[in-house]
Amino acid sequence: MKISEALSHKPIVIDHRGNLGNLQKKRTVENTTHSLWNTYADAIELNVCLTQNTINLEDLLPIPKDKKLFIEIKLPKSSSPDKNYINKVTRKLVDFIRDNKLAEKVIVICSSGEVLDRIKTLNPNIKTALNVFCGEGKSPKKISSLRRDFGFDSLLLPFSQVKKYAIDSCHIEGIDVYPWVYRENPLAEIRKATRLIEMGVDGIITNQVEILRRIIDEST
């Protein structure tokens, strides 16, 4: 099936930035707002962490009118999230979104449903996305159960774990699906991303932004 035959809507292209370092400090690579916002991408995705109780996202502003920002909260590497850390990082991020009137522009991502639940408690208007990578995304029943518990709006998962039946099930429940790339060579990434677009995902978090933009635009 050609992409043009499969597309019922136009998926968004999300520029995968991942770790840009300690967001309390100024960036030393591509250290301008202009360079952060790729012309060919509909959004950027990056990770944030809490250092000395401060999140600095000011250098991402202003967010261009036609762009969105996917922010993933990274937790300390421990068996269970520290509640004090969760309370501080969610409060700082929600305050940033509120103070800059960004509720319609930002999607907050985390692998912890507890963190996303906390975000929704602080501001139910903020969109959230659960990041799963242990196979949960292959089980519609599991995703439905997690959704009931934590109320997230979108699902993120690795390219390799996306299944067509799971995408369809998520869409029935009103959940958007955004696969993300992990250590793929460029050619393999493009091939897999193209198949995922044909399967009906809502967007792709990718390192190959310009190529995917051209593929999607030429197919719609």
Interval 213-220 mean pLDDT: 86
Lowest mean pLDDT among 62-71, 178-187, 191-200: 178-187
Question: Quick check: 158 and 166 in contact, CB under 8 A?
Answer: no
Architecture of the 3-219 domain: Alpha-Beta Barrel (3.20)
pLDDT tens digit sequence for 64-120: 989 999 999 988 776 566 788 889 889 989 999 999 999 999 999 999 999 999 999
The pLDDT tens digits for 118-151 are: 999 999 999 999 999 888 888 999 999 999 999 9
Of residues 156 and 28, the one with the higher pLDDT is: 156
Whether the link from the prior residue into 76 is cis, omega within 30° of 0, is no
- Say yes or no to pLDDT of 220 above 60: yes
Taking a C-beta distance cutoff of 8 angstroms, is the pair 206, 14 a contact? yes
pLDDT digits (tens, 9 = 90+) for 6-64: 555 789 999 988 765 333 334 333 344 445 787 899 999 988 876 644 456 777 788 99
Contacts of residue 23, defined as CB under 8 A and 6 or more positions apart, other chains included, come to 48, 49, 51, 55, 56, 57
Q: Hey, where are the domains in the chain?
A: 3-219
Query: Could you tell me the CA-to-CA distances from 138 to 117, 160, 162 in Å, in that order?
Result: 22, 10, 7
Which residues contact residue 74 at a Cβ distance below 8 angstroms, ignoring those fewer than 6 apart?
Answer: 19, 47, 48, 49
Q: Give the global pTM.
A: 0.86
pLDDT at 67: 94
